[in-house]
Each structure stands twice: as C-alpha cells, then as structure tokens.
Amino acid sequence: MSKEREPLVTHIFTADPSAHVYNGRIYVYPSHDIPHDGEDNDNGDEYQMRDYHVLSMDDIGAECIDHGLALSEDDVPWVSEQMWAPDVAYKNGTYYLFFPARDKEGNFRIGIAESDKPEGPFKPHPECIKGSYSIDPASFIDDDGKVYVYNGGLWGGQLEKYRTGSFDPNGTEPAADEPAVGPICAVMDDDMQEYVAPPVAIQILDESGEPIKAGDEDRRYFEDPWMNKIGDKYYFSYSTGTTHYLVYAVGDNPMGPFTYKGRILEPVIGWTTHHSIIEHKGKWYLFYHDCELSGGINHRRTVKYTELKFDDKGDIITIHPYDHK
C-alpha cells in the first residue's frame, strides 16, 4: 500500500510528479530518472530521463500501479534528449501530455502527445509547440474551459537565455537588485494544438507590490510552476531552486500578478524540489519528490505525497518533510 511520505514506487526512480484526479482515480505523471554514474552540474546534464511512465492509485493510501511505458523519446521526431517534468490536461475527451525535451539543436521546447486514456500510451504530435521554450509545463483549466500552460526553469532550463525575446546562448540572470526572471504562460487554442499567442512573463510581487528581485533566492521563481484555483483565488506555487523551498503566491487572475505568501515545503534530501497539489475527497495533498531512498543521489529520486493543510485565513501551513520520522 502507498503510505504518506513514503515512495509511491521503488522499482524505478520517479520525480517531478504532476498529479490529477480522473474518474475518481488519482493519476501521477512523473519524469523517470535513469541511473548512471555521471557527475552533477548546473546545466542539469545528470538528469538523463528518456521516457514517461504513468502511476495511479484508487485512493490515497491505496496500492500504486505503474502502467508501464507511456511515451519514449524514440517516439518523438523532434526530440534529441532529456524528457523532463511533464503534465497532463483533459479536454475534448482527450488526455494531452505536455512534456519538455531538447530539440535537435539542444534547446528545450514543449511537446504534446495525446491519448484517449489517462494512463496512455500517448501519441506525440510530430512537432513541438510553435513558440515554446524552456521546461516544466504545468497545465491549468479555468472554470471557463480555457487551458493555460505555465512553464519555465532557470539554468539548465534556459529561461534566462530568452530575456531579450529570443534565445541568447550567453544570456544570464538579472543583477541581484533587478526584478527576477519570472515564469511564462500561454493559452492553448480550442483544438489543443498550439498557443493562441506567444508566452508572456508572469509577475510575482512582494508584500509591497514590488517585483521580487533576482537576489531574493528565498522567494524568487526558479522552476516548477503549478496552479490551483481555491475559491475565487489563484494559488501559484513553484520551486525557488537554489534555496530548495516550495513556495506559493496568490492572485485574482490566472495570468497574475501574484503576491508572495509563504512556504509550502521545507527542503528535501537532494538538490531539486518539484511538486503538484490536488484536492481529493475534501482534502488537499502535496505530491513531491526527494532522494532519501537513493541516499542523496540527485538524479535518483522518488515521488511521495503528504496531506496539505490550510489555516483559518486560507494560508498554507508549511510542511517539514521529515518531522514524522
């Protein structure tokens, strides 16, 4: 059985979980870490994921099933390597897998693959989404049916290299006292084939309404966007990267701006932290990963989950990942 704060599966290494509830069942769309003996670096070369498996559970605490290979880089003509963190959206009777990968020139793009079943297998579009770049796609379907795709990651994710509006291989982050590079967001067309317009930058503000600065590494965006609508508020959550927090900001519009509110999860074992949040049977759950099982090897991660709680003001109560030990 799947226990809280324990790996969902241990027969493969999984990371970057995007969780959803379809037909009353919990589906988790993770990346798949491939064990190797290479070195870690800031470009993320150690993350050599090549395919996707879909996991599912009947309920929280139930046995977690691996549905097997759902999509491989060998299936996608434009991909060269590194199929990183994916997500899925359900619309028009179809499940759409959004995934990042390097194209033949080594630049990260976002692709789409389709299935009539939540567990796949998924059939990829022959080309990536026109105008897409960087990593970590996260889909959000608003009450009006509009599908938003958030994404972006610094360093290996190349986000800072697009600050001029096009790819600059020498692009860098802003100075510490300048506004941080933010995530990007685009809206899908009704057929879920392309963006209706190029991605736009999303602003994350501090409590004074000023953009969070690049040097504010406890709060600035690094990677791993996720969106939840709770009541009439939009909760945008993300990873801070270098300081290893999962944090969140709240706004009144899915395109922001969002005002920083606080931490969701304190640092886990391992360099990366990546998550998703779902509601199931009246409770909220955080899905995340760490490297506890592998003894801290950064590219050998496992997906876990834990209950997420709110205080009486609607603020998320910070989780300390190992306080149950």
Q: Kindly list the catalytic residues.
A: 16, 223
Q: How many CB atoms lie within 10 A of CB 200?
A: 13
User: Which of helix, strand or coil describes residue 150?
Assistant: strand
**Backbone φ, ψ for residue 309 (5° rounding):** -125, 155
Structure tokens at 134: 């960087």
Nearest Cα residue to 307 out of 3, 30, 1: 3
d(CA 161, CA 154): 9
User: Which of helix, strand or coil describes residue 160?
Assistant: helix
**Backbone φ, ψ for residue 323 (5° rounding):** -75, -5
> Please, what sign has the CA dihedral across residues 253, 256, 258, 263?
positive
- CB burial class (10 A; 0-12, 13-18, 19+) of residue 255? middle
